[in-house]
Amino acid sequence: MIIPLAVVLAIGSASVSISDAAAAPDFGPNVLIFDPAMTNIQNQIDAIFRQQERSQFGTNRYVYLFKPGKYELDVQVGFYTQVLGLGKLPDDVAITGAVRCKARWMANNNATCNFWRCVENLSATPTQDQNINIWAVSQATAMRRVHVRGDVNLWDGGWSSGGFLADCQIDGQVNSGSQQQWLSRNSAWGRWQGANWNMVFVGVSNPPAGRWPDPPYTVIDQTPVIREKPYLCLDERGGYVVMVPNLATHGTSGTTWRAGATPGTALPLERFHLARPEKDNATSLNAALSAGRHLLLTPGLYPLEKPLRVTRPGTIVLGLGYPTLQADNGTPALEIADVSGVKVGGLLIEAGATNSATLVQVGEPGSRTSHAADPIFLWDLFCRVGGGRAGQVDCMVTIHSHDTVGDNFWLWRADHGRGAGWTSSPNKHGLIVNGDNVTLYGLFVEHCQEYQTIWNGNGGRVYFYQSEMPYDPPSQEAWRHGEVNGYASYKVADAVTSHEAWGLGVYCVFYAAPVVAENAIETPVTPGVKMRHMVTIRLSGRPNSGIKHVINGTGDPVITTRKAMVD
């Protein structure tokens, strides 16, 4: 069911006038704009949640936009749903009740498939679930710029495999529960409780006590370079603007808004092409980009017969409600030129039946320009091969440009869903980095068939890595290169002289055949390459399958045992 915006406005409240509706931008039928005076918000949210709760590979996408004010609501967040407050500060939108994600749709409250949902820029005072805000999520999710006036549980009683938290304040306790791994960046809370395999805290003002390996906490005091994700909000006159937070390059901790509004620049919506899936295609979107417009993509599927090409410095491409760019003609879905200050966030990018060399390309081969003064930023960038439809690609994301910063990537060769299979969804790599001084916070790469991450550039930094090796190699002969069994998940090229990574977890489930990977991680052995806090886990699989070493021939095997760790 798609609820038209006109219907939403008509049934919401008599206090929303025709002139109000006419003044609102035409975001399309799947963007719902809520005002505190409206009386039918809960029914609308409940109807969409019933549709989206189990819609793991469905085609509908939604955004809830909350105007500043107070609300009493239970906002349950399903698949492909984004919940956004439109205030300048998170507390400008105050929801009493819950903004929550549970896992009742899977057996045993298993949240390991609670993908593709996020909440941003609001406050929540929990009164559900014993006054605890449940946020039981896994990959391709985000909680950003959220103030929870109480406690948060990151699980729902069963397994969970997340996740990402940034620029958030939790007044009470965060209980990680069964979360296998988690990245928290530039946040604060009353207390953190829990650990499982790999918990990383970057720029958190009060991280938990204890350090790797028991509990498996990795703490980095300051975030070296960051710009928070742009967000939609209202200005003083009630007009829609996109706030672009300032760049911070000298080390930060805690939230950007603890002392007041986040420093940044407000761009009026008139500077954006408001993309609609039923109206736009690659030609019209590229025409808008060529004309100097930014892009704001509303929810839906965007089949692309050619790539979107971002060629102007400072261009913003921002997605609302998981807009899905589909590579349909063997090309990338998105190409970013080697120019400074490009900002891309909130996109789901999907491979097509015709093989592409890559889905996202940043810069061109041989790029040499320094972008240190104004880096390229990519936030909440999610790619998949299979699952929603059959697809194939050599590498999901390829970064040629120097000084690119990524913040929350999930690059997923599907292990279930449509087209998922060893021969039906071929995909060698998740990420290849050729540029220098590339930084990633929260890199999730899963099930690719060869090296999942290849790092060829110098000066790279990765804060948190989570990877599952492919579940489905049909035999050891099919999953071998030269005389080496399997492929490492994380490969730093032999010529690299400087690279650092913190908090790396590589897991395996080889269900199709008794295969072994020689190493989880491979790097050159040189003083400038520093890998800290690594863990391998054998989740399950065929007898005599697993990972032989953690890194470079060292670290215990996980073949007859479950877990190995290296400092």
- Catalytic site residues? 468
Q: How far apart are the first and last CA of the chain?
A: 51
Backbone conformation region of residue 131, classed left if phi is above 0, alpha if psi is from -120 to 50, else beta: left
Helix-helix angle 41-52:5-12, to 10 degrees: 140
- 8 A C-beta contact, residue 410 and residue 382: yes
The residue among 509, 489, 508, 490 whose CA lies nearest residue 500 is 490
Work out whether the CA dihedral 201, 80, 132, 87 comes out positive or negative.
positive
C-alpha span between 359 and 350 (Å, rounded): 8
Sign of CA dihedral 38, 42, 44, 45: positive
How, if at all, do strands 198-202 and 231-234 pair?
unpaired
Cα 198 to Cα 466: distance, rounded to the nearest angstrom? 9
User: Residue 417, CB half-sphere, CA atoms under 13 Å: how many?
Assistant: 19
Cα distance between residue 251 and residue 294, in whole Å? 29
Query: Of 97, 89, 37, 87, nearest to 65 (Cα)?
Result: 87
Q: How, if at all, do strands 484-485 and 480-481 pair?
A: antiparallel
As a whole number of angstroms, the distance between CA 334 and CA 327 comes to 9
Exposure b/e, 462-481, CB count within 10 A at least 16 = b = bbbbbbbbbbbbeeeeebbe
Alpha helices in 472-517 (DSSP H): none
Query: Secondary structure of the chain: what % helix, strand, coil (to 5)?
Result: 10, 45, 45
What lies within 8 Å, CB to CB, of 300 at 6+ separation is 28, 30, 61, 276, 277, 278, 323, 324
Chain CA centroid to CA 553, Å: 32
Question: H or E segment at 19?
Answer: helix 18-23
The runs of H, that is alpha helices, within 281-406 are 282-290
Question: Position 113: which residue type?
Answer: C
